Amino acid sequence: MNWEIIIGLEVHAELSTRSKLFCPCSTAFGGAPNTQVCPVCSGMPGSLPAVNRAAVEYAMRLGLALGCSVAERCKFDRKNYFYPDLPKAYQVSQLYEPICRDGALEICSPSGPKTIGIREIHMEEDAGKLNHNGVTLMDFNRCGVPLLEIVSQPDMRGGAEAVAYLEKLRDTLLYLDICDCKMQEGSIRADVNVSVRRPGEALGTRTEMKNLNSFKAIARAIDYESRRQADILQSGGAITQETRRWDDANGVSYGMRNKENAQDYRYFPEPDLLPLRIDAAWLAAVRESLPEMAHQKRERYMREHGLSAHEAAVLTSHRNVARLYEELCALSSQPVESARLLTGEVMRLCNATGTAAEDLALDAAKLARLVGFVLDGKISRAAYKEVTEAVFTRDADVDAYIAEKGLMMSLRGDEAAEAARLVLAEQPGALADYRAGKQKAFGFLMGQVMRKLGGAGNPALAERALRQALDGSD
Amino acid sequence: MSALELGSAIRRGEAGAAEAVAACIDAAERDNPRYGAFLCLLRERALARAKAVQARIDSGEALSALAGVPVAVKDNISTQGVATTCASAMLERYVPVYDATVITKLEAAGMIVIGKCNMDEFAMGGSSETGAFGPVCNPRRVTHVAGGSSGGSAAAVAARLAPLALGSDTGGSIRQPCAFCGVTGIKPTYGSVSRHGLIAYASSLDQIGPLARDIDDCAALLSVISGPCALDSTCVIDAPFDFSRQRPENLRGTRIGLPRNYLARGIDEDVRAAVAGAAREFEAAGAAVDEFDMPLMDYMVPAYYIIACAEASSNLSRYDGLKYGYKSPAAKTLSDVYRLSRSEGFGLEVKRRIMLGSFVLSSGYYDAYYNKALQIRALIKDAYNKLFERYDMLLSPVAPTAAYALGENIGDPMKMYMGDIYTVSVNLAGLPAAALPCGLSREGLPIGFQLVGDSFSEGKLIAAGRVYQSRTAHHTAACGGDAL
């Protein structure tokens, strides 16, 4: 009999606001330790938090994009625990009255489209970082960076759906421009709740898995954990509700703490902050400022540009690709050719070089120039590919590259006709062979014509001129 | 000479800022061993600043009515570059990297901080005996407590070691030492003075306020330190106070409520009589004094201690031995650093309150204690709101007794906590209150009363206090030093 795998995700997304949640310190990643700190985020005695309005608006944006109800009044709570990366020994979070509740995210699961419920989104501050290197040093730069915790309903059924959900959530965060979603920098992190049950039965006891640093690790961890639980249940055992740590190197998880020794966080309302009120006008203004989302862009590309569903999907798969496409369209006024270039050659180059869509940094102006050249018949399709690759791999200058490689095709038919006439005059032997029905001779003559044109010839024009010259020399 | 008179003399060139500062510090150096009012004196720094302020005054710059006037500051208010210990071994060597907003405001007004005042450890206590560096002694009688937790601030003013002081009031910590030492103080409306830089005891209750010889000086100092602050979200006032027009001749039309049940039981007879005398004085000044029964009296102290300790348990968690403050030399592991540093660095009363607060917030007890206390707090606020439909202000005792002997009550926390019965509900409701001297006990120890007003009605309280002090001399009795 099969086990059904039930997954719920808690995703932490670091917001890309310029300053921290409760103080004006920079949120930039990678600064020298403790250079982006002040009395507030380092928890000096007597310091007080003041809420960053931009961070609240970012939370509102995500809530609106996920169809959540945004609370007119929300408040912050303190989560108390001792750890060296938490200088106040409490994290300001939202337990009792989060900013957003009850939303949904449409995902493309392996079995087709599916709606995953969003239970709530709440705001909180990030902790610092400990650097272990013989001695443990504290770095508070990350302390107080705003986070959103996005809590899903237990609506996913297996690792593939969990990954599809995460990909869709990541795209949404990127489209909203509120998180850079760099997993390797920890700007998006996920805790996974896993349980298994016989289909139709009530939900089983769940475990929570932490330390998941990639989508691949998440899929593997779910796979491992669901099998572990099924094995226990199969052999008559019971699942302990616990927090487990995933060890990706060894492909196993191990228990960190269970219900009995669970931390008591002694949550209570943060007395240093007043309840946050979001009135209708503020909410409306944020709603007004929401960017066009992927599904809206997809429909518009198909409707206005006449793209195929596949092209529209590829172009909107990542906000960065859509942005490049729209810039390219604006500069080239050629939406169809622009779409073809990006979904074809550029995607091929991305795959070949392992370039992630978010790292794609192409100069739209250069691509627009290329699109113009190929549509005007100034360069061949082969040259188009070649120059695209040069732009992709080393940001080559389009005009200089074409000139250097002599890729610009001759445009003038009379030049080609003159070359064809000269070749026929110079190559009576080949002409005779052609007349005798030797098709190979045509290829030789074409080569000679192209050579005369010095590599700048348009092969189509050259062929037409050669055929005309052959016809005329009868 | 009052602080305002001193300020005026300095402006007129009849007194010098540096001389005033030197006189205070000389007196404090001489008398402080007797009172323990100061934890540190800042002679060099204060004199340098006084000279700078004097130069500005001499150049005709109008700084404020208190420019050049020395001020003593409770040692839980952060002063950049000057140790701020909260009278705790935990913070004995802690030097803030920034100034509290009130310090910035004092200095902008040309006032000179001359030293940091002793207190109960982390403002937890009502006798200034819980500090790690010795108790404060009452200048009226050095065998007796000065009250607390702002005991050092009250004693410094009472002993004439400083004309003005800042204290903080979480459950009576300005008013009660004022009453015990015979000086005047104001606990302002929650949200009228920035808490930025005030080392927190209980965030939703703490408020910085002035202590002085009379209500006029308190009003002047409160005008300087009040006002909005971008660094404190709970500081909701929209402009600094201006009390210049609160100078009525009499109190005709002022309705004063007198809580009958406050005076009925558990109160020292001398205190009851002195407070009743104050009420008669207000009647004589034209006010209508009316008795009523204060509701919820039995719930005030428990609700206060639950909420204050809950917040304190969280606020004081940051003292973990890792970043600043005391670290146990015996600690070997991380959990040792936490456990030993906190066990050794905090005093008994602080640990008692941290444990009490941790307990009431813990899962399974939160609803039974903390949530219930919040409900009581809401009921108390409602009760006050209803009272202020009938009265302009309430007149009540500050404490059930006058100052007691050092060591007399310190071993009996319940007795100490019940001493807060008349003051804590004011903090729970976030209201302003002024404490003024109104006589002496048979033993010759000062007795005070308080006027409690509706939110942001400090003006009314100050007007009433001015009328009262213009008709009485309880606030003028001198004692101790003679610097001023």
Same domain, A103 and A166: yes
Same domain, A380 and A430: no
- The CA distance from B199 to the nearest CA of chain A, in Å, is 4
Q: CA A151 to CA A144: how far, in whole Å?
A: 20
The mean per-residue pLDDT over the stretch B192-200 comes to 98
The mean per-residue pLDDT over the stretch B372-395 comes to 98
Interchain contact, A45 vs B230, CB within 8 Å: no
Task: Give me the CATH code for the B3-254+390-476 domain, please.
Answer: 3.90.1300.10
Same domain, A385 and A449: no
Interchain contact, A50 vs B358, CB within 8 Å: no
B95 close contact with A: CB closer than 8 A: no
Whether the pLDDT of residue A458 is over 80: the answer is no
* pLDDT attached to residue A263: 82
Q: CA A119 to CA A397: how far, in whole Å?
A: 50
Active site residue B194: no
Last residue of a domain, one of A349, A379, A405: A405
CATH label of the domain that carries residue A449: 1.10.10.410
Nearest residue in A to B202, CA atom: A271
Strand partners, A7: A156, A194
Interchain contact, A45 vs B91, CB within 8 Å: yes
* pLDDT attached to residue B40: 97
Whether the pLDDT of residue B481 is over 50: the answer is no
CA distances to A190, A205, B316 from A208, rounded to whole Å, are 10, 10, 31
Whether the pLDDT of residue A411 is over 80: the answer is no
Backbone angles phi and psi of A90, in degrees to 5:
-150, 150
Q: Measure CB to CB from residue B317 to each of A42, A47, A82 and give the nearest one.
A: A82
Q: Which residues of B touch A39 (CB under 8 A)?
A: 96-98
Nearest residue in B to A267, CA atom: B361
The mean per-residue pLDDT over the stretch B110-130 comes to 98
Which of A400-414, B52-66, B343-357 shows the lowest mean pLDDT across its residues?
A400-414
Nearest residue in A to B97, CA atom: A39
Same domain, A34 and A121: yes
* pLDDT attached to residue B284: 97
- The CA distance from A238 to the nearest CA of chain B, in Å, is 25
Q: Measure CB to CB from residue A271 to each of B311, B313, B338 and give the nearest one.
A: B311
Q: Which residues of B touch A89 (CB under 8 A)?
A: 314, 317-318, 320
Query: How many residues are there in chain B?
Result: 484
What is the number of CB-based contacts under 8 A between chain A and chain B? 101
Interchain contact, B98 vs A51, CB within 8 Å: no
Whether the pLDDT of residue B430 is over 50: the answer is yes
- The CA distance from B43 to the nearest CA of chain A, in Å, is 25
* pLDDT attached to residue B479: 56
- The CA distance from B483 to the nearest CA of chain A, in Å, is 32
Same domain, A398 and A468: no
Same domain, A37 and A149: yes
Print the domain residue range for A448.
Answer: 413-472
- The CA distance from A269 to the nearest CA of chain B, in Å, is 9
Interface of B with A in 209-228 (CB under 8 A): none
Q: How sure is the predictor about B452, in pLDDT bands with cuts at 50, 70 and 90?
A: very high
* pLDDT attached to residue A303: 93
Interchain contact, A46 vs B320, CB within 8 Å: no
Same domain, A39 and A166: yes
Closest C-alpha to A157, from A205, A211, A113, A195: A195
3-state secondary structure chain A: CCCEEEEEEEEEEECCCCECCCCCCECCCCCCCCCCCCCCCCCCCCCCCCCCHHHHHHHHHHHHHCCCEECCEECCEEEECCCCCCCCCEEEECCCCCCEEEEEEEEEECCEEEEEEEEEEEEEECCCEEEEECEEEEECCCCCCEEEEEEECCCECCHHHHHHHHHHHHHHHHHHCCCCCCHHHCCEEEEEEEEEECCCCCCCCCEEEEEECCHHHHHHHHHHHHHHHHHHHHCCCCCCCEEEEEECCCCEEEEEEECCCCCCCCCEECCCCCCEECCHHHHHHHHHCCCCCHHHHHHHHHHHHCCCHHHHHHHHCCHHHHHHHHHHHHHHCCHHHHHHHHHHHHHHHHHHHCCCHHHCCCCHHHHHHHHHHHHCCCCCHHHHHHHHHHHHHHCCCHHHHHHHHCCCCCCCHHHHHHHHHHHHHHCHHHHHHHHCCCCHHHHHHHHHHHHHCCCCCCHHHHHHHHHHHHHHCC
Contact assessment for residue B450 and residue B433, using Cβ atoms and an 8 Å cutoff: yes
The total of structural domains in chain A comes to: 3
Residue recorded with tokens 């627009």: A368
* pLDDT attached to residue B482: 42
What residue segments make up the domains of chain B, in order of their start? 3-254+390-476
- The CA distance from B374 to the nearest CA of chain A, in Å, is 11
Same domain, A190 and A267: yes
- To test the contact with chain B by mutation, choose from A88, A93, A264, A268 the residue with the greatest count of B C-beta atoms within 10 A, namely A268
Asked, as a colleague might, if the bond just before B149 is cis with ω within 30 of 0, I would say yes
Instruction: Please write the tens of the pLDDT for every residue from A277-332.
Output: 999 999 999 999 999 888 889 999 999 999 999 999 899 988 889 999 999 999 99
* Complex ipTM: 0.95
The active-site residue out of B149, B168, B223, B313 is B149
Q: Which residues of A touch B91 (CB under 8 A)?
A: 45
Q: Report chain B's mean pLDDT, rounded to a whole number.
A: 96
Residue that wins the pLDDT comparison between A272 and A427: A272
Interchain contact, B334 vs A44, CB within 8 Å: no
Closest C-alpha to B423, from B442, B396, B405: B396
* pLDDT attached to residue B358: 97
Interchain contact, A88 vs B311, CB within 8 Å: no
Same domain, A213 and A130: yes
Interchain contact, B234 vs A272, CB within 8 Å: yes
Same domain, A30 and A179: yes
B201 close contact with A: CB closer than 8 A: no
Which of A36-40, A179-183, A303-307, B4-8 shows the lowest mean pLDDT across its residues?
A179-183
Contact assessment for residue A106 and residue A296, using Cβ atoms and an 8 Å cutoff: no
Q: Measure CB to CB from residue A271 to each of B86, B198, B203 and give the nearest one.
A: B203
In this structure, the number of other CB atoms found within 10 A of the CB of residue A3 comes to 18
Strand partners, A191: A10
Active site residue B74: yes
Active site residue B173: yes
Interface of B with A in 3-62 (CB under 8 A): none
Percentage of the residues of chain B whose pLDDT score is greater than 90 = 95
Last residue of a domain, one of A285, A316, A347: A285
Whether the pLDDT of residue A473 is over 80: the answer is no
Same domain, A258 and A336: no
Whether the pLDDT of residue B231 is over 50: the answer is yes
Which of A156-165, A398-407, B116-125 shows the lowest mean pLDDT across its residues?
A398-407
Interchain contact, A273 vs B84, CB within 8 Å: no
Whether the pLDDT of residue A28 is over 70: the answer is yes
Last residue of a domain, one of A244, A263, A285: A285
Whether the pLDDT of residue B480 is over 50: the answer is no
Interchain contact, A43 vs B97, CB within 8 Å: no
Residues belonging to chain A with any Cβ–Cβ distance to chain B shorter than 8 Å: 39, 42-51, 78, 80, 82, 84, 87-90, 138, 264, 266-268, 271-274
Residue recorded with tokens 């569903």: A309
| Residue A36 token pair | 């982006």
The active-site residue out of B64, B74, B313, B425 is B74
Q: CA A395 to CA A362: how far, in whole Å?
A: 7
* pLDDT attached to residue A461: 77
* pLDDT attached to residue B483: 44
- To test the contact with chain A by mutation, choose from B99, B231, B313, B336 the residue with the greatest count of A C-beta atoms within 10 A, namely B231
Q: Which residues of B touch A271 (CB under 8 A)?
A: 202-204, 234, 311
The mean per-residue pLDDT over the stretch B55-71 comes to 96
3-state secondary structure chain B: CCHHHHHHHHHCCCCCHHHHHHHHHHHHHHHHHHHCCEEEECHHHHHHHHHHHHHHHHCCCCCCCCCCCEEEEECCECECCECCCCCCHHHCCCCCCCCCHHHHHHHHCCCEEEEEECCCHHHCCCCCCCCCCCCCEECCEEEEECCCCCHHHHHHHHCCCCCEEEEECCCCCCHHHHHHHCCEEEECCCCCECCCCECCCCCCCCCEEEEECCHHHHHHHHHHHECCCCCCCCCCCCCCCCCCCCCCCCCCCCEEEEEHHHCCCCCCHHHHHHHHHHHHHHHHCCCEEEEECCCCHHHHHHHHHHHHHHHHHHHHHHCCCCCCCCCCCCCCCHHHHHHHHHHHHCCHHHHHHHHHHHHHHCCCCCHHHHHHHHHHHHHHHHHHHHHHHHCCEEEEECCCCCCCECCCCCCCHHHHHHCCCCCHHHHHCCCCEEEEEEEECCCCCEEEEEEEECCCCHHHHHHHHHHHHHHCCHHHCCCCCCCC
| Residue A22 token pair | 């409760």
Q: How sure is the predictor about B478, in pLDDT bands with cuts at 50, 70 and 90?
A: low
The active-site residue out of B78, B150, B153, B173 is B173
Same domain, A141 and A199: yes
* pLDDT attached to residue A412: 61
Whether the pLDDT of residue A474 is over 60: the answer is no
CA angle B433, B439, B441 (to 5 degrees): 115
